[in-house]
Amino acid sequence: METFISLQPDQRTPKYKQVINSILAEIERGALKRGQRIPSINELSEEYYLSRDTVEKAYAELRERGIVASVRGKGYYIDRVDLKNPFRVLLLFNKISAYKKLVYNAFVATLGDRSVVDLHIHHCNAKVFEGLINHHLGNYHHYVLMPHFYDSLDVVANTLRRIPKDKLLLLDKDFEGLEGEYAAVYQDFEIDIHQALHSGTDLLRKYRKLTLVYPDGSIPYPKEIVTGFRNFCREAAFDYDILSEVTAATPLREQEAYVVIEETNLVNFIKQCRQRSWQLGRDAGLISYNETPLKEILADGITVISTDHEKMGETAACLLMDKEKRKVKNPFTLIRRSSL
């Protein structure tokens, strides 16, 4: 196998650094490209009469910088050729949505040209998450993860423990029981919805009953939302109900207010109101979960309870750049509009 190493025995530069510099030089001139296999530790040490420790040290630093990746049973490969970027970030979301896009855009914009961000989706599947981390561990400077999981939590916990705490940032949700100091930008779903609804009590008192439309889908929403909603209704003496969806056949009732999480249910609710000639904010109340730009203008403005998704992305990026291991609770508010 052709190698690209240039060693100068008389130089004061340590040999492992010469190995690193040789590989970087070949990348810069285009001789080594992304995805190209490079010699194994044994191959390089035998061809250049280097100790295995020397080559291992060089490859470990290249992996740390995200330039080289290793695949078990297959060897080492060039994984990054954009050498001007100081670090790489693996960003793991649980799903794609309009508000997750806001987080992503703010995160990337705040980092600017400081890094390369690779986005993957784990779909709340612990095994998929474990596989992604196993494949990429050691290839990134930072691992920014949304730990939305609802089963196989032991698998998730063991996987998280394998990530060095100074490289880990949990996003959108903290993970109970994870030891050590690490960075996080999180929502407290139970407290957030409780406090947001409480701040709108003056508007909610117009309605006879509150209903939470909490989807029962394949990718669930945090169950703490239900707990916080129930706690508010009980403390504020509101009659309440919980539905799993709103369809064309759902019997909506006048003078009741609905808290809707999923976009499909939001659309179906608005359609029903239009069919009945109901005016939102007068005949029925509507609160949507998670702000998006469209909700500001939809149906003359949809009242929203939401975290600040752009702030979440910005804060996460700042924690990485400042190398801070702090936990930051992201702002969550009620945005008043005409639908309530």
Task: Establish if 36 belongs to a structural domain.
Answer: yes
Task: Establish if 338 belongs to a structural domain.
Answer: no
Measured CA distances, 259 to 241, 244, 269, 304 (Å): 10, 11, 11, 9
Residue 54 CA to residue 122 CA, distance in Å, equals: 36
Residues 181 and 326 in one domain: yes
Q: Which residues contact 119 (CB under 8 A, 6 or more apart)?
A: 91, 92, 93, 104
Structural domain containing residue 51:
15-78
Residues 157 and 291 in one domain: no
Residues 115 and 27 in one domain: no
Q: Structure pTM?
A: 0.76
Strands (E), the chain: 37-38, 68-71, 75-78, 87-93, 115-121, 142-145, 168-172, 183-186, 209-213, 239-243, 256-260, 285-289, 303-307, 327-329, 332-335
Q: What is the pLDDT of residue 1?
A: 44
Question: In the 8-state DSSP scheme, what is residue 150?
Answer: S
Burial class of residue 203 in the structure, from the number of CB atoms within 10 Å of its CB (0-12 exposed, 13-18 middle, 19+ buried): middle
Residues 92 and 200 in one domain: no
Residues 139 and 283 in one domain: no
List the pLDDT tens digit at each of the 340 positions of the chain: 455 777 777 667 788 888 988 898 888 888 899 999 999 999 999 888 889 999 999 998 888 777 888 888 888 999 888 776 667 899 999 999 888 999 999 999 999 876 889 999 999 999 999 999 998 888 788 999 999 999 999 999 999 999 999 999 999 999 998 999 999 999 999 999 999 999 999 999 999 999 999 998 767 889 999 999 999 999 999 999 999 999 999 999 999 999 999 999 999 999 999 999 999 999 999 999 999 889 999 999 999 999 999 999 999 999 998 889 999 999 999 999 999 9
Task: Establish if 302 belongs to a structural domain.
Answer: yes
Describe the crossing of helices 153-161 and 126-136 by its angle, rounded to 10 degrees. 20
Starting from the edge strand earliest in sequence, which strands make up the sheet with 68-71, in order? 37-38, 75-78, 68-71
Task: Establish if 291 belongs to a structural domain.
Answer: yes
Residues 213 and 166 in one domain: no
**118: enclosing H helix or E strand:** strand 115-121
Q: What is the pLDDT of residue 86?
A: 65
Pair of tokens at residue 142: 């930072």
Residue 99 CA to residue 120 CA, distance in Å, equals: 16
Question: Among residues 323, 276, 302, which one has the least CA distance to residue 141?
Answer: 323
Residues 194 and 300 in one domain: yes
Residues 127 and 148 in one domain: yes
Q: What is the pLDDT of residue 47?
A: 87
Q: What number of other Cβ atoms are within 10 A of residue 89's Cβ?
A: 25
* Residue 285 identity (one-letter amino acid): G
Residues 209 and 266 in one domain: yes
**335 by DSSP, 3-state: which?**
strand
